[in-house]
Amino acid sequence: MVRSLLVRGMIAGLLASLLAFAFARVVGEPQVEAAIAFEEQATHAMGGSHAHEMPELVSRDTQSGVGLFVGLGVFGAALGGLFALVFAFVHGRLGALGVRATSGLLALLGYIAIVLVPFFKYPPNPPAIGDPSTIGLRTALFFTMIGVSLAAMVVSVVAARRLGAQRDGWTVGLAAGAIFVVLAALAHALLPGINEVPAHFPATLLWQYRVAAFGIQAVLWAALGIVFAHLAGPVMAPGRRASRA
C-alpha cells in the first residue's frame, strides 16, 4: 500500500507543479522581470558597466520557461513523494478523519510549517536583490527555520493527540495552535534577521513579488492535497486494504 501511495503522491506532486508553473508564469515572472529591469537601470544610473560581467550561461527565456518548469516538476514530485509517506504514517492516527480530510489537513499544516512560518522570518527576495557573499548564511538560516517550524508542528500535533481523549476538539485545537505559535515565535525571536533589500528598491514591487511567491506555494500545496486525496481514495478503500493485508 505504501508503494502505491508513494507513486500516487509523486503523480499528484507533478500535477500540482503544473498548476504552480502556470501561476508562476502569469503572476510571478512579471515581478521577477520588473525587479531585474529596475536593478539594471539603477546600475546604469550609477555609472555601472556590463563590460566585465560574466556572459549569461542560461538566457532569461530559458530560466523562466524550461528551467522553471523542470525545477517545479522535480520539486513537486519529490514533495508529493514525501507527502505520501507522511500521509501513510498519520492516516488513522488523527481521530476519525478520512482520506480527504487527512490529505487536506496535511497539506494545510505543511504549508504553514514549511512555507508561511519560514517565509515570515526570511521572506523571499527577487533574484536581483541580495549580497552573493551571504547566500550560504541565508540558506542555512532559512532551512534552520524550516526545521524548527516542522519540529514545532510535530510537537503540537503530538500534544493534540494526547489531549484528544481528555478534552473536546475545540479546546484541543486551540491548545495545539497555541503551542505551535509560541514555539514558532521563540524561533523567530532567537534566530538572526537578514535584510539586504536596498533602500531605493520599490516597496510595491517587493510586496508584489513576495505575494506571488506565497501564491505559487499556496497553489502547489492546495493542488497537492486535493489531487492526492482523489488518487489515494481507491487505495485506502476498506475492501482494497483488506485484500492487501
Question: Does residue 236 surpass a pLDDT of 70?
Answer: yes
Question: How far from each other are the two terminal CA atoms of the chain, in whole angstroms?
Answer: 9
The pLDDT assigned to 232 comes to 92
Residue 46's pLDDT band, with cuts at 50, 70 and 90, is low
Amino acid at the residue 25:
R
Give the C-alpha separation, 90 to 206, whole Å.
Answer: 38
Question: Does residue 8 surpass a pLDDT of 60?
Answer: yes
The pLDDT assigned to 239 comes to 55
Instruction: Give per-residue pLDDT as tens, 171-229.
Output: 888 999 999 999 999 999 999 988 888 878 888 988 999 999 999 999 999 999 999 99
Give the C-alpha separation, 164 to 151, whole Å.
Answer: 20
| The three three-digit cell numbers of residue 107, written as one number | 497539506
Average pLDDT over residues 131-153: 90
| Lowest mean pLDDT segment, chosen from 72-76, 234-238, 239-243 | 239-243
| The three three-digit cell numbers of residue 137, written as one number | 548564511
The pLDDT assigned to 33 comes to 86
Q: Which of 230, 205, 28 is nearest to 129 (CA)?
A: 205
Amino acid at the residue 14:
L
C-beta separation of 120 from 188 below 8 A: yes
In sequence order, the 6+-apart residues with CB closer than 8 A to the CB of 93 are 161
Q: Which of 19, 35, 14, 17 is nearest to 124 (CA)?
A: 35
Residue 47's pLDDT band, with cuts at 50, 70 and 90, is low
Average pLDDT over residues 26-42: 82
Q: Which of 198, 181, 199, 197 is nearest to 189 (CA)?
A: 181
Average pLDDT of the chain to the nearest whole number: 86
Q: Residues 39, 43, 49, 53: is their CA dihedral positive or negative?
A: negative
The pLDDT assigned to 226 comes to 97
Question: Does residue 245 surpass a pLDDT of 70?
Answer: no
Give the DSSP letter string of 92-120: TSSTT--HHHHHHHHHHHHIIIIIIHHHH
The pLDDT assigned to 57 comes to 64
The pLDDT assigned to 7 comes to 95
* CA angle in degrees (0–180, nearest 5) for 216-158-120: 30
Residue with cell 504552480: 20
